[in-house]
Amino acid sequence: MAAFEGVKVTVPTLFMAGDHHMVIAFPGAAEHLANTKHSVPLLRDIQMLPGWGHWTQQERPTEVNAAMIEFLRSLPI
């Protein structure tokens, strides 16, 4: 991963995760997520989905689709 040290994600981005996902519970995950804007400058939104786990798109397809459509409509054409 050394080749990617300091590389930024430079496309508009939406981050969605369930608050019951095991990765979110890792030590330091909250701080890392709070600092995501430094490496993803075009991050539009972070949506932590209460009561959801790993398979957000299967658990709540209506909500995930609505968020994705809203995000895509916000992009310039």
Asked whether the whole model's pTM tops 0.85, one would answer no
CA-CA distance, 69 to 52, in Å (whole number)?
19
21, pLDDT greater than 80: yes
Question: Of 10, 5, 76, nearest to 42 (Cα)?
Answer: 10
What is the reported pLDDT for 76? 86
How would you write 5-51 as a 3-class SS string?
CCCCCCCCEEEEEECCCHHHHCCCHHHHHHCHHHHCCCEEEEEEECC
- pLDDT-derived band at 38, boundaries 50, 70, 90: very high
- Give the C-alpha separation, 37 to 42, whole Å: 7
